[in-house]
Structure 1
Amino acid sequence: MIQFRTLARRGASLRRITPLLAAFLLCLLALPVMAQDGSEYWYETEALNPGLSGAASAEVAPETPRQSLREFTAAAGADDYDKAAHYLNLSRLSPDEQAQEGPEIAMKLASILARRVWIDWSSLPARPDARIESSQDSSGRAGQPRRDLHIETLEAGRSAYDIRIARYKPSDADAVWLFTPQTVANVGPLYAEFGPRRYESMVPDTLKRRLFGLWLWEWIAVPAFAFAVFLLGWGTYSMVEAFSRRVSRGWLKAGLDRSALPMAMLVMAGLVHILLTWVISFSGPVQTFLRPALTIVMVWGVGMTALRMLDAGLHRITLRYVGDIDDKLGRDEREFYTSIYALRRLIVLVMVGFAAIAILSQLNLFESVGTTLLASAGVLTVIFGIAGQAVLGNIVASLQIAFAKPIRIGDAILFEGEWAYVESIFYTFLRLRTWDHRRIVVPVKHFVGQPFENWSVTEARMMRGVHLWLDPLCDLDALRKTFDTLRHEDPDITEPDEAFTYVTDQRPEAIKVSFYAMMPDPSTGWAIHCRLREGLLADIRDNHPEWLPRERILDVAEPEETMSAPAHRAGAAD
């Protein structure tokens, strides 16, 4: 009995506790719902734009970001700015100011969007919670809702202004997507920077309609502006070339002549920038194309003009202190010439780096480009590894030559059987000039990977030999005297005592006699080499023609019986 009463009391206690446990569990289950009503899904507010009234108040209820921007642009396109004002969060204005300034702010914002923003409708979420659905999103918020979206960032007066939309839920209505109060505050400075220019008031209203995403007047103005800019560029190019022909200084003339095209492109880009800033403003699609194009052209024009003028100056310096490229230059002059080319390559690399940084910073591409590169690093590595292997290898080999200097500009080399001078060393190839003024272009990587003779690595002088095949019965002492006479009489041989005469090879029909002499440099040595050969051959021809090699045939008569036996046998057979 006692146990039964104890169990009964415990059962009664459990019945009293069960409702409490159920209530606690319901509270736990309700927490996500309560969180959904909080700051994660929307911004809570008492009321939205109480100063705006009219029939549009009941019609405006954009549930998604895409719907909000689509209805706002549609209302602005129909010049219904009273309705367009309902898509703005005017909470920072008083009710009276909302009614007076709301339509005007909507008109200005619509003008800014039309002129500076190319809306990517496919990227705008069509869900009320703007949830990120892509699993490849780099922000780490895939699958999470959003209550705030960034549309565009515009720079005006050295300041950056954001255009954003956000989700707001008043206490007595459903949540809607509107332009944020900060965006409304940014309309003033943005409109002053990107609003209509003074000459746009001259455009007839009939041409202010849309056709394939552009205004009608843009289809007329863009080709006309392009033609005018082309004429200005052509005129600039002609003026620079005409001025270069009248300049007396050679380096300035060469610099202006090579800088005509980049200067013309720079003037063309500058004119377009002035037109867009002070004369007229195009719509978003045109601005989206022109803005990066102008930035790239202006950076390229400035960089190429500076680089080509610098090239002309460096060339002038080398001609003044070094002279023409040949093997008569001293080692210091050739090294100085090579250092000048290495300096040029370094300047080009630095300028390309600064130009890339300037373009990326002006176009705000660091974030997007960095994200794309990180997202596809493996694919890009494979592509650049395959496609750019030869180019990168040549650049690395060129830098290796610039620092190690196994060859210098002006060195005389023997490469794959060709005697040539190193005329230029570029990023990916070398240009060699042969003694007969032919040009051989060799990839740097191939050149570094092949053996070659550098006849000027320490000094220009070299020992050259004249090789003659003569009869074994020739008198070597007489040949030595003839060679001594020729080398002492030659005016270009500066060291006549450094000479040798040797028999360097032997065959049954002839011997090879080599006459060696010291030459001051390869080019002069080649001429001396030819003169010595001609003199030796002339002396042998005139005084000792029997020393020239000849073929000997031994004619040994066979025994008579050997010759007659076959005939006798043949006669017997007959």
Structure 2
Amino acid sequence: MTRSSAWQRWLLAAAICLVSGLCLAQTQEADGVQEWYAIDSLNSGLGKAPDAVKLRTPREAMRTFRDLAARNEFAAAAHILNLADLSPAAQRKQGAELARQLAAIFQRGKSIRLSGLSGRQDAAIEDPTGKSPHAGEPRRDIELATLEADGDTYDIRLGRYRLDNEEPVWLITPESVAAIPALYREYGPAAFERHIPESLKRAFGPLRIWEWIAIPLVLLAVALIGKGVYRLIEVMTRWLPSGSPSIFAKQIRGPVALIVMSLLTQALLDYVVSFSAVATITLRVVLIAILAWGIGAVGLRLVDTMMLKMTRRLAGQIDDSKPQDDRKLLTTLYAVRRIIILILVTAVTIYVLGQVRLFETLGLSILASASVLAVLVGVAGQAVLGNILSSFQLSLAKPIRVGDLVMFEGQWAYVEGIFYTHIRLRLWNERRLIVPVTYFASKAFENLSSKSTKEYRSIVLTLHLSADIAILREKFLEFAEAEENVIEHHKLLCCVTDQTGPAQTVTCYLMTVDPLSGWNAEVSVREKLLAFIRDEHPEWWPRDVVVISHRDIARGHASGEADEIAQ
């Protein structure tokens, strides 16, 4: 065997081993069995890790970091960071400071729930139901938090690393370590906190001692500023011209004060003071909701003011004496108002959910119970949803319009407003009747303004049989034609409609322009007819006739004589 052939065999064997190794590695990666990142060195500049540093599982690593940070042992906590991007000298110099900054980020920007981290060394997903397609697969990289700073998004992740043949460990990835300075500038403590005594920086429950003192003071100061804004707008309304501008300014005092309070508090959290993550997240959620509600309320007040101005310009006092086109327009405006409210509520809800990332922060438990929550909300809000749908139905079908005169449950009333959940009726005596929409729609009502406001009115008189109907009819026609609100004089009618014993019932009919004017014309004509009978023919009044026989007279005389003898 020659030397050249021996070298060829050795090269062929090496190539076969290399190819086999590459194929095996690719197969392992394709099959998802690569359980760690292989590294050549691990934080050589920090020296040997203390015994207190436990890094076998993600939960153990973060528990160790939390405990060391609570004891201010940041040099030991630095061993939980993968400082591969730093030189050994930079690791010794910056490791403890980076660990301290990361602890502040976790405390103020995103609190880590240890119970949500895997307690397995391979961090495999455990799913007893078997529904997850990745259940049982080992992981070498998991996400702890996603934070924003300077308009960019940064991930803080844990990675599983193995050095030579040592046991794999879980560390904060180098990419996450590189993002620590930018995140610390965003979520780190404010400058004034340097002057806070160390005794007040100790934890007391979910917050630190100084935060329990500062948060009420900050909220009190913001509330006083909001009250000042409210008073300022109230004073400004006196300078505005009367009418829509002053009405709008009065209506937005509260919402504008809340908007200013929300923006001011968010500015304080961004540039002046920073609290722990629990307090900051809670405050930001509340502030975003208040800000969205305030903006929506201002928009709604603007719509209401515009509607009020148009109502006064088009119809003035809302009743059925106004043209039907104007009343249809008012009804349409009320429907548009409800649509705008629905759009505002939907937009505000989407904005708030998008800002607070509700489904990301509350986790899968909310999604799991979403169906139960939807059922509970549907049952509890069934009456409200029914009223809302009924109000839209009334607005679209228009069986009633704003300003219509209706007879509802025996009472005259003008439809003054059709709202989401109720209808406001103005009674004839200027009282307001508030009726749920579903109740109103389920009851029969008489719309006296549906087609025409004209109405027949009747006057019923009970007179003696001796009354001259011809004379009475002539006087009725005279009095009715003199009334301004009586129309279609050819339809005037006066006749006997009933007779009982010595009396007869006379009914007079007249056509009027509308129900309310018809009532006034009816009582006026009745009074004139009664005055005519009283002054000219009092014998027409009904009376009882008593017939006394001779026997009754004799009996009366006899009883009278007996009384005289007894006396």
The question of a shared fold, defined as TM-score above 0.5 by the shorter chain, is answered with yes
Q: Is the 8 A contact 2:244 2:309 kept in 1?
A: yes
TM-aligned CA distance change 1:290 to 1:552, over 3 Å: farther
- Summarize the alignment of residues 425-440 of structure 1 with structure 2, pairs less than 5 Å apart: 425-440=418-433
| 2:277 alignment partner AA | G
Q: CA RMSD in A?
A: 3.0
1:557 and 1:186 map into 2 onto residues whose CA distance is 128
In the alignment, is residue 417 of structure 1 matched against residue 410 of structure 2? yes
**Partner SS, residue 400 of structure 2:** coil
Give the superposition deviation at 1:143.
5.3
2:145 and 2:261 map into 1 onto residues whose CA distance is 28
1:275 and 1:327 map into 2 onto residues whose CA distance is 55
1:99 and 1:382 map into 2 onto residues whose CA distance is 58
Q: Is the 8 A contact 1:330 1:459 kept in 2?
A: no
Could you report, residue by residue, the CA deviation over 1:424-448 in whole angstroms, capped at 9, with x for unpaired residues?
1110110101010111111101111
| 1:484 alignment partner AA | L
**Partner SS, residue 44 of structure 2:** coil
Q: Is the 8 A contact 1:49 1:98 kept in 2?
A: no
2:362 and 2:278 map into 1 onto residues whose CA distance is 21
Give the superposition deviation at 1:361.
0.6
Give the superposition deviation at 1:269.
1.0
TM-aligned CA distance change 1:389 to 1:313, over 3 Å: same
TM-aligned CA distance change 1:370 to 1:214, over 3 Å: closer
- Summarize the alignment of residues 34-433 of structure 1 with structure 2, pairs less than 5 Å apart: 39-40=32-33, 42-47=35-40, 49-56=42-49, 59-133=52-126, 135=128, 141=134, 145-366=138-359, 375-433=368-426
Deviates more, 1:365-374 or 1:268-277: 365-374
**Partner SS, residue 437 of structure 1:** coil
Partner of 2:556: none
**Partner SS, residue 155 of structure 1:** strand
TM-aligned CA distance change 1:216 to 1:367, over 3 Å: closer
Give the superposition deviation at 1:366.
4.4
1:63 and 1:224 map into 2 onto residues whose CA distance is 44
TM-score by length of 2: 0.85
Give the superposition deviation at 1:341.
1.0
1:83 and 1:74 map into 2 onto residues whose CA distance is 11
TM-aligned CA distance change 1:258 to 1:101, over 3 Å: same
Deviates more, 1:213-222 or 1:487-496: 487-496
Q: How high is the sequence identity, in percent, across the aligned residues?
A: 41
1:374 and 1:458 map into 2 onto residues whose CA distance is 53
TM-aligned CA distance change 1:378 to 1:354, over 3 Å: closer
**Partner SS, residue 448 of structure 1:** helix
In the alignment, is residue 466 of structure 1 matched against residue 459 of structure 2? yes
Partner of 1:530: 523
Deviates more, 1:475-484 or 1:120-129: 120-129
Give the superposition deviation at 1:94.
4.0
Consecutive unaligned residues in structure 2, runs of 5 or more: 1-23, 553-567
TM-aligned CA distance change 1:226 to 1:368, over 3 Å: closer
Give the superposition deviation at 1:279.
0.7
**Partner SS, residue 52 of structure 1:** helix
Partner of 1:570: none
Could you report, residue by residue, the CA deviation over 1:350-400 in whole angstroms, capped at 9, with x for unpaired residues?
000100110011011245679666533542343234222111111000000
Give the superposition deviation at 1:525.
2.2
1:137 and 1:266 map into 2 onto residues whose CA distance is 48
| 1:425 alignment partner AA | I
2:517 and 2:265 map into 1 onto residues whose CA distance is 58
Partner of 1:10: none
TM-aligned CA distance change 1:464 to 1:50, over 3 Å: same
Partner of 1:492: 485
Consecutive unaligned residues in structure 1, runs of 5 or more: 1-30, 560-574
Could you report, residue by residue, the CA deviation over 1:76-127 in whole angstroms, capped at 9, with x for unpaired residues?
2333222111111223334444333332322221111111123333323333
1:407 and 1:246 map into 2 onto residues whose CA distance is 40
Give the superposition deviation at 1:346.
0.8
Give the superposition deviation at 1:317.
1.8
2:82 and 2:551 map into 1 onto residues whose CA distance is 128
| 2:102 alignment partner AA | L
Aligned partner (choices 531, 535, 544) of residue 542 of structure 1: 535
**Partner SS, residue 86 of structure 2:** coil
| 2:230 alignment partner AA | Y
Give the superposition deviation at 1:528.
1.7
**Partner SS, residue 46 of structure 2:** coil
Give the superposition deviation at 1:520.
2.0
Aligned partner (choices 493, 500, 520) of residue 513 of structure 2: 520
Deviates more, 1:387-396 or 1:541-550: 541-550
**Partner SS, residue 486 of structure 2:** coil
Could you report, residue by residue, the CA deviation over 1:286-336 in whole angstroms, capped at 9, with x for unpaired residues?
112101011001111111122113211221121112211122111011111
**Partner SS, residue 467 of structure 2:** coil
Give the superposition deviation at 1:407.
0.7
2:434 and 2:194 map into 1 onto residues whose CA distance is 60
Q: Is the 8 A contact 1:327 1:522 kept in 2?
A: no
Q: Is the 8 A contact 2:404 2:450 kept in 1?
A: yes
Q: Is the 8 A contact 2:390 2:441 kept in 1?
A: yes
Q: Is the 8 A contact 2:69 2:100 kept in 1?
A: yes
TM-score by length of 1: 0.84
Give the superposition deviation at 1:471.
3.9
Q: Is the 8 A contact 1:326 1:411 kept in 2?
A: yes
**Partner SS, residue 56 of structure 1:** coil
Partner of 2:18: none
| 2:184 alignment partner AA | Y
Give the superposition deviation at 1:418.
0.7
Partner of 1:567: none
